[in-house]
Structure 1
Amino acid sequence: MSNELLRAPAEVKYADELDWLESVDDGPKPFSWRLSPKMVRLFILGSERADGLDREIPQKWFGDRSFVERAIVTLASDRGLLLIGDPGTGKSWLAELLAAAISRNSTLVVQGTAGTTEDHIKYSWNVSMVIAKGQSRQSMIPSPIMTAMENGVIGRFEELTRSTSDVQDALISILSEKYVSIPELDEDNIVFAKPGFSIIATANSRDRGVNDLSSALKRRFNFVRIPVVTNKKSEAEIVRFRTEELLRRHNIELEVPPTLLDVLLQSFADLRAASASATSDDERLESALSTAEQIGVLEDAILHSNFFGAAALTSQTLASSLVGSLARRSPEDLAILNKYWHGVIEPRSKDAGGEWNGFLEGGRQAIATLS
């Protein structure tokens, strides 16, 4: 089934793994959890030889083990979990994996925006049914959060700080009282949360000041801060993992040379260092330079090579993809990239040669085209 979907949710994509883990799991399970906490951690972080399993479980999220363990413990305590960090740190992916392992359903999601209303986290009404038969539980449309409450599973709230204070306040009673009242009904007018219900929310740490969380709502969540991946080995594993998924999804047989991956990682490390030392926003790229953006750059280069190239990834194509992806403001970002190409890439290509020569030329051409 997962092959028929553009992007299968984790519980569909890894259904076979989850079925197998459930069949061998003899650990204690909180509430209505499908897997024990140890198996949830193993599903997310992958198996090791010491686990003594008959089957290898690949790692799906790359980060500190303590973050995953704290997240699992929070959900086992029925408190809300807030994953906070910079864009591209894997918050949403971790939330999806947790919901898939615990509830086998990661799709009960509310997306926080300026247009998100209280109805999106509580309920709304089927207008035609209300006109025909009046207001009743049958004519009510439950939100994903209410559905999670009724089924005792995990609900997700993406980009919590992008929603207004009214919406955030509505979450306080849900997290505190664990029920939603329906004043329009005379009978059967309270929906109680079943054991196992909890909420995993995500928040972008760069959104401070958009809609700051109230102290009351903060108390209802345990915070887990997900840092930007700075370890080059870990970042390479993430990019390689995601790239292999991309190649499988598109049925592309194209090799990503390790030397080109090193060029990509080093370029992002250089640009991050330059951004950190910049004294004004005009001297910083608008891009967050996250691992997710690295993956996007590589994906763009792979698809371009597959459809318009010689079915081989080159350093010129990679450079063109990087410039095209990161040059969002004109002329500010183009000036920053041009300075980087002349001040860093050009000397490096003279000293190291190899893939850096093609990377230098490809970037120059891309910058000239966009200027």
Structure 2
Amino acid sequence: MSEMLRAPAEVKYAEELDYLESIDDGPKPFAWRLSPRMVRLFVLGSERADGIDREIPQKWFGDRSFVERSIVTLASDRGLLLIGDPGTGKSWLAELLSAAICRNSTLVVQGTAGTTEDHIKYSWNVSMVIAKGQSREAMIPSPIMTAMESGVIGRFEELTRSTSDVQDALISILSEKYVSIPELDDDNIVFAQPGFSIIATANSRDRGVNDLSSALKRRFNFVRIPVVTNKKSEAEIVRFRTAELLRRHRIDLEVPPTLLDVLLQSFSDLRAAAEAATSDDEKLESALSTAEQIGVLEDAILHGQFFGERTLTAETLGSSLVGSLARRTPEDLAILNKFWHGVVEPRGKDDGTWRGFLEGGRNTIATLS
């Protein structure tokens, strides 16, 4: 694990999962490693009422009902589609659920314009086919087919980014639960084993790119993951994810609460401005998600570690925010400049932290303009 840039959830939380499995006496669907109640506890963390001997930290921050509906869906014969804005934790929730249910979250297909049907079903080892002909040994199963044969969870990221013919390949898998291999005369059907299911994610901002067909929609249960707007919940998410990133970078640093408040308030104000905008030109291209905040904070911390005084300052945070969110020139810079003059500057007159944030962002705007 220490040699991995990013360990999957089942590796990172292996000891915790072993403990939960050892005390789990609840009914388990199919070949699940944990019961639905323990899966929920692993994702959302333990409470005193759970009556276990150790604390299980919360890993995904969101409404309990979203997690419960997701678990119930996976215990049925329907696929699960997590849909929402970028940065709302869809992929992280999918990974945690897969890790808790089957201890394998790595059977993933990434949806792109270049994704083909082979990525969902199977392809062939060309050299083996030339040497010995087509056979099961020469076949290269996709992550989804591997999940079917093993009776575990397969994941499909950014489903709406893939083309309609690729999406349609999932219909028979989700309904019939098998894949035919017409190139073979014998042993030419791969049947899904009990426990197989698919967790797909879709970006709600990609609506219209490759919309799902009605047939495919019917085979998924939809769980919509909203943007976190509660400042307390969002602060917990930012602290949790930032602490993980700092451990990965081996940086010992406590984020000052005042700077975290400035970051949260800035994103809240920018979201309000985006909601009030009358056209896309008046909105930042960024989704202004919680994930964006974590990225801004990580950027500022690393900049301070490598080129500053090994601490996090308001100036660096302001500079990082502008640098991260100014993606279009000149549209985004104009929006940020207006925000800096209308919102940040008045606050900087009476507050030293906001004053430093003001100067850092103002200097970066001037540099990028």
TM range (shorter): over 0.9
* Whole-Å separation in 2 of the counterparts to 1:78 and 1:12: 27
* Whole-Å separation in 2 of the counterparts to 1:62 and 1:255: 21
* Whole-Å separation in 2 of the counterparts to 1:121 and 1:331: 41
- 1:5-20 paired onto structure 2 within 5 Å: 5-20=4-19
- The answer (yes or no) to whether the contact 1:254–1:312 under 8 Å persists in 2 is yes
Which residue does the alignment assign to 2:367? 369
Which residue does the alignment assign to 1:344? 343
* Whole-Å separation in 2 of the counterparts to 1:220 and 1:242: 33
* Whole-Å separation in 1 of the counterparts to 2:23 and 2:77: 25
* Whole-Å separation in 2 of the counterparts to 1:241 and 1:186: 53
Which residue does the alignment assign to 2:128? 129
Which residue does the alignment assign to 1:355? 353
Which residue does the alignment assign to 2:320? 321
Q: CA deviation at 1:186?
A: 0.3
* Whole-Å separation in 2 of the counterparts to 1:40 and 1:255: 31
* Whole-Å separation in 1 of the counterparts to 2:359 and 2:207: 39
Q: CA deviation at 1:348?
A: 1.1
Q: CA deviation at 1:354?
A: 2.6
SS of residue in 2 equivalent to 1:224:
strand
SS of residue in 1 equivalent to 2:349:
helix
SS of residue in 1 equivalent to 2:237:
helix
SS of residue in 2 equivalent to 1:194:
coil
* Whole-Å separation in 2 of the counterparts to 1:12 and 1:215: 37
Moved over 4 A (4+): none
- The answer (yes or no) to whether the contact 1:75–1:198 under 8 Å persists in 2 is yes
Which residue does the alignment assign to 1:158? 157
* Whole-Å separation in 1 of the counterparts to 2:143 and 2:193: 14
The one-letter code sitting in structure 1 at the alignment partner of 2:69 is R
Which residue does the alignment assign to 1:228? 227
The one-letter code sitting in structure 1 at the alignment partner of 2:255 is V
Which residue does the alignment assign to 1:110? 109
Which residue does the alignment assign to 1:293? 292
Which residue does the alignment assign to 1:331? 330
- The answer (yes or no) to whether the contact 1:254–1:306 under 8 Å persists in 2 is no
Q: CA deviation at 1:67?
A: 0.1
- The answer (yes or no) to whether the contact 1:89–1:229 under 8 Å persists in 2 is yes
SS of residue in 1 equivalent to 2:87:
coil
- The answer (yes or no) to whether the contact 1:229–1:235 under 8 Å persists in 2 is yes
Q: Cα RMSD (Å) of the superposition?
A: 0.5
Which residue does the alignment assign to 2:25? 26
SS of residue in 2 equivalent to 1:3:
coil
The one-letter code sitting in structure 1 at the alignment partner of 2:114 is G
* Whole-Å separation in 2 of the counterparts to 1:312 and 1:165: 49
Q: CA deviation at 1:79?
A: 0.9
The one-letter code sitting in structure 2 at the alignment partner of 1:363 is G
Which residue does the alignment assign to 2:81? 82
SS of residue in 2 equivalent to 1:253:
coil
Aligned residues: 369
Which residue does the alignment assign to 1:185? 184
Q: CA deviation at 1:308?
A: 0.9
Which residue does the alignment assign to 2:304? 305
SS of residue in 2 equivalent to 1:4:
coil
Q: CA deviation at 1:78?
A: 2.4
- 1:192-207 paired onto structure 2 within 5 Å: 192-207=191-206
* Whole-Å separation in 2 of the counterparts to 1:122 and 1:360: 53
Which residue does the alignment assign to 1:212? 211
* Aligned: 1:147 with 2:157: no
* Whole-Å separation in 1 of the counterparts to 2:94 and 2:157: 9
* Whole-Å separation in 2 of the counterparts to 1:222 and 1:344: 42
* Whole-Å separation in 2 of the counterparts to 1:122 and 1:262: 48
Q: CA deviation at 1:282?
A: 1.0
The one-letter code sitting in structure 1 at the alignment partner of 2:260 is L
* Whole-Å separation in 1 of the counterparts to 2:141 and 2:210: 25
| Structure 2 segments unaligned to the other structure (5+ residues) | none
Which residue does the alignment assign to 2:52? 53
* Whole-Å separation in 1 of the counterparts to 2:253 and 2:228: 26
* Whole-Å separation in 2 of the counterparts to 1:189 and 1:340: 62
Q: Could you tell me the percent identity over the aligned residues? A: 88
